[in-house]
Structure 1
């Protein structure tokens, strides 16, 4: 990981610093780093006293660990030295218009636990079609599909014919959830990207929405509360409900597999 010192002779811009120099340690070439990179360090800056052949050491008195990441690529001091101190020849910091700066970096090993996973795009047997007959005849609050399996995981769809949550009373609500008895290891999550669809059985103008989510609780489904308005669902010209039969589809585009 490449690092560099960044000196602001008249103070860092927009920091409201007057009469001081600012010095920062920066992570360079961040575009070459892996996604989600970070590094934790202790930093100690130095200014060389050219008269006495020794260094002035400047560091955070609290000893705080500084965390570099994509949104924070610089750490340092806005008021490292005043111009008066720097320009005072007796201090030895600026001699013959030459000033020498240095930095000591101690990288802190991170003890936090991570999680590794592989992402499978377009998994096999990733499309599930569910036909609901006698749709309007049932008085059930929710419909549950039969189970289907993708990459060794059991799934099912849950449909609320009169809506759920923010869709209650106005929309059909549709969710994907784990199948019965499906579990995840403790503190693990599973990512899935999927498309939920209600088929237009007449024109082929299907109503669909793409969802992506991290699944962590087998008892909770993820999807869309306001998936399809009940007005459109019951409009015969839309082709969603034909002879009281409804076709629901789910296509899983990507799924993570922990290892």
Structure 2
């Protein structure tokens, strides 16, 4: 048996039952008492108490307690139910529900070949019957269980890293920049790793950048992305300094997917900085933006 917890005030969440005249179970040579069915996590369960221990599992001299999954005939072939459960005994003197600290949080798998799990040395009989512990009072006691079924919700993915990453730089030269009247512009398509990309520009800003910045993004053409696939990409959105080579750059490593086809910045560069002649980003009313894109890997779901 492991160590017992200090106990808690709240009763077991899913099931508890009280046994009166506990000594009569032993006198009647009842090997185990099994509860009625109860429901937890959309499954049916039964709790069993062995008043003198489960001798087949070396539980002599202890209280043994087990949890069984029942009504399994309706479950699909190859079923498996992953569960974290916790057994309790009621300390009636302190009105606390005590459990085994060593067993808390253990994951158990119920399946066709294993429909029952338990703790066969849950509590020594000498400790159980000791009046000072409060477990057996006036020949009555109470046990309980909490059952938490783990639903299969996690995703598993695999990153295939490119042995020779593909890099391509696309240059987009925009003349008569100050005359651009539309809210949004996009460059011609360019291909990196069999996928089509574009640079997207808002010359007067978008969102929080509207009216104070230019907004620049790298976008992926969804039609070139296989289903349930993500692309792990390193990119650099660069505004070319046409005077001294001190370019303005936004660098990032990120995933592009069907749910996130666009990465960049709404406040990419302030309009004041762009329009300041001494910075060299707007020369002869021409702005040059480059997108350097490196395909680092492909993320796909595990089968």
Q: Which residue of 2 aligns with 1:188?
A: 229
Q: Are 1:52 and 1:92, in contact at CA under 8 Å, matched by a contact in 2? A: no
TM-score (norm 2): 0.51
Partner of 1:57: 65
Could you tell me which residue of structure 2 aligns to residue 135 of structure 1? 177
Cα separation, 1, equivalents of 2:4 and 2:260: 59
Q: Relative to 1, partners in 2 of residues 1:118 and 1:219: Cα closer, same or farther, differing over 3 Å? A: closer
State the partner residue of 1:148. 190
- Measure, in 2, the Cα distance between the counterparts of 1:140 and 1:54: 81
Give the 3 Å change call, closer, same or farther, for CA 60–188 of structure 1 in structure 2: farther
How far residue 227 of structure 1 moved from its aligned partner, in angstroms, is 0.5
Count of matched residue positions in the alignment of Structure 1 and Structure 2: 200
Task: Look up the match of 2:251.
Answer: 210
Instruction: Kindly state the Cα deviation for residue 112 of structure 1 after the two structures are TM-superposed.
Output: 6.9
Is the contact between residue 192 and residue 294 of structure 2 (CA under 8 Å) also seen in structure 1?
no
Match of 1:172 among 193, 196, 214: 214
Matching of residue 126 in structure 1 with residue 168 in structure 2: yes
Which structure has more helix as a fraction of its residues? 2
- Contact 2:5/2:100 (CA < 8 Å) preserved in 1? no
- TM-score (normalised: structure 1): 0.59
Gaps of 5+ in 1: 19-43, 68-74, 94-107
Name which one, 1 or 2, has greater alpha-carbon Rg. Answer: 2
Note if contact 1:182-1:218 (Cα within 8 Å) is conserved in structure 2: no
Query: Distance in 1 between the 2:219 and 2:59 partners?
Result: 72
Ranges in structure 2 where 5+ consecutive residues have no aligned partner: 10-46, 71-80, 89-97, 102-121, 131-149
Aligned-partner SS, 1:126: strand
1:51 deviates by: 8.0
